[in-house]
Amino acid sequence: MSQRHVLPVVPSRMTLTQIKARLQGARRGHALLKKKSDALTVRFRALLREIVDRKFRAADLLRNASFRFAAVKYVVGEELKHVVLEGVDHAETRLRVRFENVAGVPLPSYRCVTVATDASTAFESRENGAAEALNPSRSRVVGATSIVQYRGLGRGGQQIISCRDAYQEALSALVELASLQTCFMVLDEAIKITNRRVNALENVLIPRLENTIAYIVSELDEQEREEFFRLKLVQNRKKRELARSQATELRARERRAAQALNAFDLNSFHEALGAETAAAESLLEQTTGHDPDLLNI
């Protein structure tokens, strides 16, 4: 097994337990990241379709606004610039940012907020196009400031208001398209990062942990076989030593028996036996009666 595919660890039972825990965590993380990638991919594709639709809608709104601007310029003439600049003293359209959490990824969402002032009263446009006053004691006004609303009534005022509304609608569509494209880029980057992590876990870390576990198991098995072989060697050595000691003791006994046998004198034995026999005969001769229990030899 190549050392590149195995973690540098000491093969032991504790290390095996730790590596198994790491492998279990890696598999759990891989499953979670895979689900996250799938969720982000689904949202990414839905967002892509929505971006295509919003682009067509924004193009139609811009074309309509351009036509209205051309009509206003034809009616008002060169005074259009002055008419517009006279009614602009502050930013009437602002952006509001909100974040949506999708599988742990914050997605920014932009929308236009139209601030309308009529006697210092501010109004905020809703997503459905209606406007709501921040101060409920005031009356509601739809659109921008009432001062700008009545600009150019003497010549082409209605066309100016219509052109303004068309450009405001086009601006809202462009802001919405920009919000979708920003979410698209954020999702694309998040999907790439998640897929890299999934691939790293699937192709690098998890196989390396599995190879490490297999390496530790093989090393532990080899150690068990070596320990068993060592124990058998020790047992055989003890058996040989016991047999050797028993053989040595047996040879010592045989040597002592041979020495005792060599030291035994056969002539002395016969002399002692003859003396005992003579003593017995003399004893029988001295006995006065006949003993029926004794047999004549």
Tell me the pLDDT tens digit for each residue of 199-225: 999 999 999 999 999 999 999 998 888
- Give the pLDDT score at 190: 92
- Give the pLDDT score at 148: 46
> CA 229, CA 234: separation in Å to the nearest integer?
9
Element (H, E) at 294: none
- Parent domain of 77: 10-115+153-262
Structural domain contains residue 282: no
Structural domain contains residue 174: yes
Secondary structure class of 39 (helix, strand, coil):
helix
Structural domain contains residue 110: yes
> CA 53, CA 173: separation in Å to the nearest integer?
11
Closest to 56 in 3D by CA, of 173, 180, 181, 175: 173
Structural domain contains residue 108: yes
Structural domain contains residue 254: yes
Element (H, E) at 270: helix 266-286
* Sheet strands (E) in 128-226: 131-133
- Give the pLDDT score at 138: 35
- Give the pLDDT score at 213: 92
- Tens digit of pLDDT at every position of the chain (297 positions): 555 688 888 888 899 999 999 999 999 999 999 999 999 999 999 999 999 998 999 999 889 888 888 887 777 776 666 666 666 677 778 888 888 888 888 888 888 887 754 433 333 343 344 333 333 333 333 344 444 454 445 555 677 788 888 888 888 889 999 999 999 999 999 999 999 999 999 999 999 999 999 999 999 998 888 888 899 889 888 988 888 888 888 888 888 777 766 665 556 666 666 777 777 777 666 664 555 555 454
> CA 160, CA 82: separation in Å to the nearest integer?
12
- CA-CA distances (angstroms) from residue 185 to 149, 191, 290? 38, 10, 143
Give me the CATH number covering residue 77. 1.10.287.3240
Structural domain contains residue 56: yes
> CA 54, CA 178: separation in Å to the nearest integer?
10
- Total domains, the chain: 1
Structural domain contains residue 273: no
Structural domain contains residue 175: yes
